[in-house]
Structure 1
Amino acid sequence: MRKLIVLMALAIILIFTCGMSKPEPLKLSIGEQLLTDFPPVIVNNTTLIPIRTASYLGYNVTWNSENETVTIKKAGTTDIIQLTVGSKTAYKNKSAIELTVAPQVYANSTYVPLRFISEAFGSTVVWDSKNNGVAVFNPYPEATIMAKSSDLATSRRGVVGLPRVSFQKALEQPEGMTYTYIFPENESSSFYFLKGGSVYYYEVKGEYAQLVWEANTKIDKENNNDIDTFSKYIGGAFDPQVGVQPTISQRLIFFHDNIFVNGTGKFGLIDQNGKEIISHEVRAQQLSEIIVPVPEEEK
């Protein structure tokens, strides 16, 4: 009887084990660059990265195999940090700092605490549970302050200047000398960015804007997804695309930057049928002269 119970328990465990999916690897986003070759690991709620990955953060990394010490510098600064495998005491400019988790060797690579080295050089680290990832970026305080402004035009100017973060594999970046920013009417918390036949959709997450969806546009194909205003405006198919396309049925506000070509800009209103019904052209030398209040935008 006991043997039968043991066999049944083992069978149940086997069924549940086979049904479990392999945990998704932790993602690391360096701005809009997603690093997948050497994923981070989490030890006691602390994210560790291999020292070879630290170079992608713009750091100069030196490894001393004799005393297992990592020395990290950042170009343009005089700051130096040192960490030793197995020691929770790190040093920044010779001042001792206690770590939560010591650097360690994992899978034949030396791993160091991501948050410590990033924040030591002024970068910001954020955890994104939805994407099972961690992002590192350099904050832009002026853009952050502008993005929180109660003035819509000021907020939009701040939003487009925020650092951009991506947790998805990017499509090939196109070339282009003109750009278009498109916001839902009366909003600044999300925006489309059009460049060279490609489109990117971002959502604002405090100090940064996160890429949610990107696609290449194929104007020569029939567009089967015309349920939202933006699809109607583009008038073509999206192929290929990465992420989830937003469905926005309200009117849109556009700001077109053509400064590099002929020193002009254009802004206006796109109706729910995807038509530009209002358009203002301006002479401009910078984007802030294009992203301005739109008189016809409903308040």
Structure 2
Amino acid sequence: MLKKMLPVSMLFLLLLPNVILAAPASSPAQPTTRPIQVNINGAFISSDSSPFIQSGRTMIPIRTLASLGLHYSWDGIRHTVTITNSSNDQFEMTQGQSIAYKNGEPVQMDSEANNYNGRIMVPAKFVSEAFGYSVYYEKIREIIFIQSRNFTPDTQAIHSADLKQARLAAISLPVRYSFKPGTSVQSDQSHYYSYAFASKDATRYAYSNGEITTVVEIAGTTATAIWQASEADIPGYPATTFGGVQPAYISDLFQDSFSYNKGVYSGYHTLSDGTVTTFKFPGLSYTELIRAIPE
């Protein structure tokens, strides 16, 4: 059942156009790693240059900072980027240097800004926290969540009668967990994921990367991983548990499944008589996964 309802699916590359900068010959190549998604204040942000982790630091395209309400400018002669917030605080970073300047005062960064394939990437945690934003990296789905101090999730959206809105709000919550999540053995070139919900429900879902299934429950505005297990034992239910306890309702979570596989979004819906209908939908947006299920 699990194999049928959760096909292996390929994690898409984010596609919003980005700032293209002339890269000097000394520019390092962007590491080949699994793409990281960015969620800012409850909304998924797209970029044609995917964030990545380097030496334990998450690097994000400078364009992403605009979604934080920050403004930036690039000095191509000095290879320096200047970031300004609404209070006119300025943060200046020079390509390849670990010393930055905030309002003219030197600050030691944990990673320098750099030019990767013509796009300036900056350390997300350092820059975000320098301007008062919190940063949380969720390992389970490989999403970096950046939130302003006054941001609170929309409770009404999460529990909305509009199923599409509620499910989108649900997957926009960072997943917390009390156990060490399992590690995928897929190569860095393999980017797979699938979401599955119980019918007419947005408060519980199963997330799969093709190797590991994580069951998530939402209470209020908090999403918690309650069970995570390997999918190696398909077609039976997974036996290798990484954390938590398998819920009794596990089979109910595969009524509505949303997947991405090799550039194609697919949906699976189980009718009341047990018939499974499959449908495809267009678009190259993470939110396209969460749509109204056809009757």
Q: TM (normalized to structure 1)?
A: 0.45
TM-score by length of 2: 0.45
Which one has a larger percent helix, Structure 1 or Structure 2? 1
Whichever of the two has the greater Rg, that structure is 1
